[in-house]
Structure 1
Amino acid sequence: MNEHTTAVRLRPPAHRVSRRAIGYWTATAALLWIVLIGVQALIVVTSDDPPAFFDVTLVVSCVLGPLHLLVMPQWRYRVHRWEVTGEAVYTQSGWLKQEWRIAPVSRIQTVDIERDPLEQLFGLAKITVTTASAAGPLRIAGLAHDRALALAGELTKTTQAVRGDAT
């Protein structure tokens, strides 16, 4: 390590995402389940002789869908965390497959804010921090829009203050 490199360690990030993310994750999953169950029901109802497995998959979907909508958003809210320090950006995300990432501030190349229409409805945004890493960018989803704007500004100031070429 050189004198400009500070050791960073993987640890749980300090901040949770916005509680509104629970509603957003529920709504996005509900839309998918509605389409899936709707297509299956349409096939079962309109076919003269639907394959028997459609009855089974429809019942399974009608049980798993609501269960997924009850468990997944709460679980994700408990897992998703983020933190920005003067040295690094920390993220933790997922629910079944969980991922912890850390990126030294000196490696940050770009900071982007994105909002899909449903995120706009819920007042949320996601930040994508692109680094000089083969592992790809870090994403912090489920942030309140105003918090995402402030965080992007903070990251921009922090990266400008750090010497290095982000490679």
Structure 2
Amino acid sequence: MSESGGAVELREPRNRVSPKAKLYWACRAAFSWVFFFGAQVVWLLVDDETGATPHLVVFLVSAVVALAHILVMPRWRFAVHRWEITPDAVYTRSGWLDQEWRIAPVSRIQTVDSERGVLERMFGLANLTVTTASSAGPIKIHGLDQETARRAAEELTGNTVATEGDAT
């Protein structure tokens, strides 16, 4: 139940993640493809029997898939990823191929964590993890700018302290 007496409902969260997340996700995707293309180079160097044609075909197909991944996925994720914090609940929607909608009532929150990896720090981004008393696991909000993540963590902590219950 919400403070207004109504049930907490699954709905579209209001906030988008930082626009910088698109470039961050594109860079992460590009880095993952570097290893795949490196393996293709090794295959070309150690393979004396196959000839160049299979290598060229695999490279071209890989390049098309990699380019689509790097260009499409970040925009798609940005369009899908949303989040919102209210006094009653945390709402999230995330994913790009598999999409997940989650609601966590504030009364179920156990911990709020902020995380920034090396690449995320370079882009001024942070992730927020809200651990609840749920078997579904924590709620993660990826791609927030650092200041927004800090304010959201403070707001969630304040909401959790102000809510009765023991988060179990």
Class of the TM-score when normalised by the shorter of the 2 chains = over 0.9
Q: Find the counterpart in structure 2 of residue 39 from structure 1.
A: 39
Q: Distance in 2 between matches of 1:9 and 1:85?
A: 12
How far is 1:6 from its partner? 5.3
Code of the aligned partner of 1:29: A
Q: Distance in 1 between matches of 2:7 and 2:54?
A: 55
How far is 1:37 from its partner? 1.2
Q: TM-score, normalised by structure 1?
A: 0.93
1:54-105 Cα distance to aligned partner (Å, 9 max, x none): 5543221111001111100000000000000011000000011100000000
Q: Percentage identity across aligned positions?
A: 54
Q: Which secondary structure state, in structure 2, belongs to the residue aligned with residue 153 of structure 1?
A: helix
Q: Find the counterpart in structure 1 of residue 62 from structure 2.
A: 61
Structure 2: any 5+ residue segments left out of the alignment? none
How far is 1:4 from its partner? 10
Q: Which secondary structure state, in structure 2, belongs to the residue aligned with residue 24 of structure 1?
A: helix
Q: Distance in 2 between matches of 1:9 and 1:146?
A: 28
Q: Distance in 1 between matches of 2:99 and 2:33?
A: 23
Q: Find the counterpart in structure 2 of residue 15 from structure 1.
A: 15
Q: Which secondary structure state, in structure 2, belongs to the residue aligned with residue 143 of structure 1?
A: strand
Q: Which secondary structure state, in structure 2, belongs to the residue aligned with residue 38 of structure 1?
A: helix
How far is 1:34 from its partner? 1.4
Is the contact made by 1:44 and 1:55 (CA closer than 8 Å) also made in structure 2? no
Tell me the matched-pair count: 166
Q: Distance in 2 between matches of 1:4 and 1:134?
A: 27
Q: Distance in 2 between matches of 1:50 and 1:82?
A: 51
Q: Distance in 2 between matches of 1:20 and 1:74?
A: 11
Give the alignment of 1:94-109 within 5 angstroms: 94-109=95-110
Q: Distance in 2 between matches of 1:161 and 1:150?
A: 16
Q: Find the counterpart in structure 2 of residue 71 from structure 1.
A: 72
Q: Find the counterpart in structure 2 of residue 26 from structure 1.
A: 26
Is the contact made by 1:112 and 1:152 (CA closer than 8 Å) also made in structure 2? yes
